[in-house]
Chain A
């Protein structure tokens, strides 16, 4: 199954190489990885999307914890999380397709961040399914370029208080995924 792993790391040179290197040499897959500054100065939060069975997920967490620059690791695959990805999609336009594209874009609540005579660039934010759906609908018009950030994620409020195992314990009770975990495709996004 797909695994989302949230990793709090020291913001130091080489940390990304340590983590990416560990994944590659142990044969773990990285579907996407996002890095940015975390709530505390000097720390970064990485969100790594991988795949594997429970045993592999435990190994990934345990091997991440062994890295000295890793402060905390949480496999949040089965937790209630907010997961978001940002995508920029440049799509070809003509006089005839432009209104049609605008019509498609409307329910996605995306922003058009750049417009030219032959193409326009859409900025979309949401979960992976929403971005995939949007791109799927735009493809027939001719997609020139796509840039996606990869998923970044945080636990939803309230989850932290209920049985959020610390980094010391790689074995944690599995929390059943809740329906509210899956974002509504046409959920309203605010800029």
Chain B
């Protein structure tokens, strides 16, 4: 085969070149680009290397936009950011071996948070597969447990169907990452142009409408409930069901709590919203989940960070669980009414009638909990409070920015103190908890939506995990505002060490470079604020600036995230403040 090795028959090669010149055939890589465009791809995040040289050569003359990052992990998190703010699949391209393995964290992250990705990896020539060739890694084997599906294309004729199926699988049902491994001999070999076929994955079925029995059971349960609670997650956003949810909740006056990934799926300012639940949920949300008599779980997976100790999770409630993934139902918590269906179609079918009895007493109880322990922090004039920074950013952006976060304390403060009112505005790594996610995902979000204000709320440690992407931001003139909540610690690790390891701060104190100088070295505006007043000025200056900005917020070192459900405790056993 042409291009597969130096020993390939020269006659065949000449024949191929002749055919190419005649326009009869092109390379597999040209076909790939054509199919990607037919699938609606406009931008690829990637990094070149030996095994993807044919693909990069085809991209050179293609109208597909390519964003060159400084690390493959930056590319895949950017693609995740792109996917999360648009709902369209993010597309990533990396070379074989180390290029592919550098994607693994991002693939696992996308799998946990149901983010649609199509990941393209180069592979050594087919003849060398399995022989430990240079830059060979079994990326199909490595990513089997962390992809929704993956492929290795050994025959160019199968590529059109693989591309069609990959995009279909990544974006439908419960979205997720799909990887396509492309040996160099296939992308450099001859190919005929092809029309993208209809998807045809026989073993793949996407649940749709709920059954009439399920709907009746849900309706009956809501009619009988006195203390119903909607527990909603990322599935609401994936299903595009935020508006339907709002109508349903309002018509029936049912309070709503959200998971981390569900934030924005229901407006934060709505009086029915009781806030995020779980380990760092609000007092009212965790009291509501513990005391409700009907739990309506929509597009959620009963994650351990939500449920706390399973035996104490919502012990008095009848439980309805609607999810598009049958494997999520009953996985962690047994439920009374299991509905495998599209959560949006289910809500549409339910939205027609007012079902709920008077929930006034229940809502009054929740309001009392909110009054008893509202979300708050202790103001301190001697230092800058991290929560105050989030509030200032929220005020300046009127709660309308796209906010990405890294992972840790700042992430929880962003979730609690930034009022998300629309879906696809909050981009954060929930399931995997990936430090280094927030900054590149902000770049991807800004690439997707150039007109939007994109803020990355970062920690001083997390930001350093993919800080090299500053140059990517500069190259593509992406005006992302990076707010580094700098407490000189791995804040969440330190918080756990304070609570559970007797303040033995093992390796959690972490140093940083001067972020203002780092920003300047990249040609980016750098600002610093160490007091509330300085923070106000810096934020004003940053958002008035047209280009990207790094703001180093030097905040109080030993501030903690509250409320907190300690690990192994029930959601009703919150620590509201630290007295130790």
Residues of A within 8 A of B (CB): 9-10, 13-14, 17-18, 21-22, 25, 55, 58-59, 62-63, 65-71, 167-168, 170-171
* CB–CB B330/A17 < 8 A: no
Kindly list chain B residues whose C-beta atoms are within 8 Å of the C-beta of A21: 144-145
Kindly list chain B residues whose C-beta atoms are within 8 Å of the C-beta of A70: 203
A171 CA to B330 CA in the complex, in Å? 11
Kindly list chain A residues whose C-beta atoms are within 8 Å of the C-beta of B331: 59
Q: Is B329 an interface residue (CB 8 A)?
A: yes
* CB–CB B330/A58 < 8 A: yes
Instruction: Return B214 CB to nearest CB of chain A, in Å.
Output: 11
* CB–CB A66/B334 < 8 A: no
Who on chain B is nearest to A58 by CB?
B330
* CB–CB A71/B326 < 8 A: no
Q: Is B458 an interface residue (CB 8 A)?
A: no
A14 CA to B338 CA in the complex, in Å? 32
Residue from A22, A62, A68, A168 within 8 A of B201 (CB atoms): A68
Q: Is B327 an interface residue (CB 8 A)?
A: yes
16 contacts across the A-B interface (CB closer than 8 A): A9-B203, A10-B202, A10-B203, A13-B152, A14-B140, A14-B141, A21-B144, A25-B145, A55-B330, A63-B327, A66-B326, A68-B148, A68-B204, A71-B203, A167-B205, A170-B326
Who on chain B is nearest to A55 by CB?
B330
Instruction: Please count how many residues in chain B sit with their CB below 8 Å of the partner chain's CB atoms.
Output: 23
Kindly list chain B residues whose C-beta atoms are within 8 Å of the C-beta of A71: 202-203
Who on chain A is nearest to B173 by CB?
A66
Instruction: Return B449 CB to nearest CB of chain A, in Å.
Output: 31
Residues of B within 8 A of A (CB): 140-141, 144-145, 148-149, 152, 169, 201-205, 207, 325-327, 329-331, 334, 338, 340
* CB–CB A68/B149 < 8 A: yes
* CB–CB B205/A55 < 8 A: no
* CB–CB A18/B144 < 8 A: yes
Q: A58-B330, A68-B148 are in contact. Are A168 and B204 (CB under 8 A)?
A: no
* CB–CB A69/B203 < 8 A: yes
A13 CA to B151 CA in the complex, in Å? 10
Kindly list chain A residues whose C-beta atoms are within 8 Å of the C-beta of B338: 171
Instruction: Return A70 CB to nearest CB of chain B, in Å.
Output: 5
Who on chain B is nearest to A167 by CB?
B205
* CB–CB A168/B205 < 8 A: yes
Who on chain A is nearest to B141 by CB?
A17
Instruction: Return B339 CB to nearest CB of chain A, in Å.
Output: 11
Residue from B144, B169, B202 within 8 A of A14 (CB atoms): B144
Kindly list chain A residues whose C-beta atoms are within 8 Å of the C-beta of B329: 62
* CB–CB A62/B326 < 8 A: yes
* CB–CB B205/A66 < 8 A: no
Instruction: Return A44 CB to nearest CB of chain B, in Å.
Output: 12
